[in-house]
Amino acid sequence: MNEDLFHLAPESKGNAPGRGRLIGRRILVVGGGQQQYGLEDAPIGNGRAMCLLFAREGATVAVADQNLESAQSTCRAIGDQGGNGFAIRADVRNPDEIQAMVEKAWNDAGGLDGLVYNVGTGREMFLQNVTAEGWDFVLSVNLRGAALTLKAALSRIDDGSSIVLISSTASLRPGSRIPAYDSSKAALAGLMRHAAFEGARRYIRVNVVAPGLMDTAIGRVASKGRPSRSKTPIPLGRQGTGWETAYASLFLISRESAYITGQVLSVDGGLSTIA
């Protein structure tokens, strides 16, 4: 990606200073580690970017991931920037681990007033290749894990908290070619609206961020597997960065969005609406 051509802002590159937007907040990010996929120059992913940005803005961040070492690496990066974060290992396919994750985050952070569910996986491409096992696996991670995390968190987080579920523009158009992925990400919007309805009486807001084609490690791997992905015409002329997903999530987690709930915010350079 030619940054000079598109004049990326400091926020898009992760170079902007913190502005104190989350001072005193305590936020659990599920999926806050990062897989490198064997890439030596892997760009930052959505989850790690969110953790670093939230900490930079003053929050204490509980970084949960199935890969504890990856979560710890994110926490080291937070510490290097002068922030405060701690790691939790959790597999969202296991309901007991989800409950334990929320309890540990609540205990170690001294409470919770923010949550991001940033977990997603895919299996077979095209309906003709779908298996019952593959379908169930994807939905157990992408959808059931989100529902059980919300259930556990809503019993712990403070009134006035904010929750963000990370979806995908594949929930709006058949972009991934993976039916279970597209379906599970689309279903997150229904889950989000219900959680927003239940949370409203306690002033808890729940929203979805739907990234498009992002220049992340998993995005580059996806493009290698499906070269046409990198040739997709995007109105703004480039793929996004993990930092751009993070800043959209920051807005919804912060109290700057105090009157926004039950909404889907696409971060896709116009791909889902004007392409």
Q: What's the whole-model pTM score?
A: 0.92
Q: Of 37, 117, 181, 247, which is the active-site residue?
A: 181
Q: What superfamily does domain 22-274 belong to in CATH?
A: NAD(P)-binding Rossmann-like Domain (3.40.50.720)
Residue 35 amino acid letter = Q
Q: For position 225, what pLDDT does the model report?
A: 62
Structure tokens at 250: 């920051």
**222 to 17, 229, 238: CA distances (angstroms):** 31, 8, 16
Q: For position 170, what pLDDT does the model report?
A: 84
**41 to 28, 35, 234: CA distances (angstroms):** 27, 12, 24
Q: Are 241 and 42 in contact (CB under 8 A)?
A: no
What are the boundaries of each domain within the chain?
22-274
Q: For position 202, what pLDDT does the model report?
A: 98
pLDDT in tens, the chain (275 residues): 455 556 789 999 999 999 999 999 999 999 999 987 677 778 899 999 999 999 999 999 999 999 999 999 999 999 999 999 999 999 999 999 999 999 999 999 999 999 999 998 888 888 899 999 999 999 999 999 999 999 999 999 999 999 999 999 888 887 778 899 999 999 999 999 999 999 999 999 999 999 998 887 776 766 666 666 667 788 888 889 999 999 999 999 999 999 999 999 999 989 888 86
d(CA 164, CA 263): 10
∠ Cα 262 32 160 (to 5°)? 35
Known catalytic residue: 181? yes
Match 């609540």 to its residue by tokens. Answer: 106
Q: Are 52 and 73 in contact (CB under 8 A)?
A: no
d(CA 55, CA 49): 10
